[in-house]
Chains A and B, each alone.
With several copies, the nearest count.
Chain A
Amino acid sequence: MKILVNGDPREVPTPCSLGELVPHRSGVAAALNGNVIRGMDWDHTALSDGDAVEVLTAFQGG
């Protein structure tokens, strides 16, 4: 299926969980369609076609 990851379209296998999409647990955070998903919930958070996923980490900033 096709999803958006950090604004870019990406093809992922079906089914696919947020945990499978994002290999790391520490130092990153994710939002699915605008809703923040806690790390503990990633594995049982299934992605659907057209989902928008944001994966953030810390960068230099004021």
Chain B
Amino acid sequence: MRIGTIEVTSRLWIGTGGLSSLATLRDVIDAADPGLVTVSMRRSSDLGPSGLIALLRERHVDVLPNTAGCLSAREAVRTAQLGREALGTSLVKLEVIGDERSLLPDVVGLVSAATELVADGFTVLPYTTADPVVARRLVDAGCAAVMPLGSPIGSGLGITDPSAIERVRAAVDVPVVLDAGIGTASDAALAMELGCDAVLAATAITRAEQPVAMAKALRLAVMAGHRARAAGRIPRLTEARPSSPMAGRAAL
């Protein structure tokens, strides 16, 4: 799919937080074959670039700097600008956190930060609630995609309200990327079946017992869910429906 100026092929995107080593991250990237890889902007102790940047360049992955931890629109806008300077990309995963405990977005601050960053030439991908009205406001503000949460960041609760994701999908015509809450493969498949264009998984991979194996599992799950939606699932029936013919049964 197209995100701003770049073509993103893989529908599994990954976050990189929580892994013990860059070596494991390399293996995770190779297993996940991610469409985009998120990073956060933090202080450099030696005032130089991190080893992470070298690794991402080595693996030729497109990087998506986020504004994780920003508690105001102003802070998020400046962090986005620093990300652009350091990484040479106009992409930004915009987070304006409204509550440090639940890490849920502040959608009012989010809309204003998105408006400001779009005007500044950014390709904005906002982390938002599964609210179709807010999603439409973000698209009207010029966002290139919307990233609704399935459940709180790192909770692994999956998609607590699937109908909300379906409403977001129906409300906008930009890519919808399920962000936050994915716990395992079935959650990722469900996200795609609900109409998402991609899934971002961070904790689900990085804190799994075996991150590389989970990366592979999620990659398969995203493909499975995407194909299943295209295949047109059967309707849900409250009654049973025989899968073997009733006719031609023998009298025994």
Contact = CB atoms under 8 A, between A and B. Distances in A.
A28 B15 contact: no
Interface in B211-252: 242-245, 248, 250-252
Query: Contact size class for B?
Result: 35 or more
Contacts of B251: 7, 34, 52, 54
Interface in A12-62: 21-24, 26-31, 34, 36, 38-39, 52, 54-62
Given A22-B47, A24-B48, A24-B49, A59 B248 contact: yes
A60 B250 contact: no
B48 A57 contact: yes
Residue from B56, B85, B154, B203 with most neighbouring chain A CB atoms (10 Å): B85
Contacts of B2: none
A38 B80 CA distance: 13
A56 B202 CA distance: 22
A62 B48 contact: no
A45 to B, nearest CB: 13
Contacts of A7: 43, 251
A5 interface: yes
A17 to B, nearest CB: 14
B16 interface: yes
B243 A23 contact: no
Contacts of A58: 39-42, 49-50, 52-53, 56, 63, 65, 83, 86-87
Query: Contact size class for A?
Result: 20 to 34
Contact of A36 (B49, B82, B248): B82
Nearest to B79: A56
Contacts of B250: 6, 31, 54, 56
B90 interface: no
A56 B78 contact: no
Interface stretch (B17-25, B111-119, B130-138, B168-176): B17-25
Interface of B: 15-19, 25, 38-45, 47-50, 52-53, 56, 63, 65-66, 68, 78, 81-87, 153-154, 180, 202-203, 242-245, 248, 250-252
Closest 8 interchain pairs by CB?
A: A27-B49, A62-B243, A61-B40, A61-B244, A29-B85, A62-B15, A62-B202, A29-B86
Given A27-B48, A58-B41, A62-B66, 18 more contacts: A6-B45, A26-B49, A27-B49, A27-B86, A29-B83, A29-B86, A34-B251, A36-B85, A56-B41, A56-B44, A56-B86, A57-B44, A58-B50, A58-B65, A59-B245, A61-B243, A62-B203, A62-B243
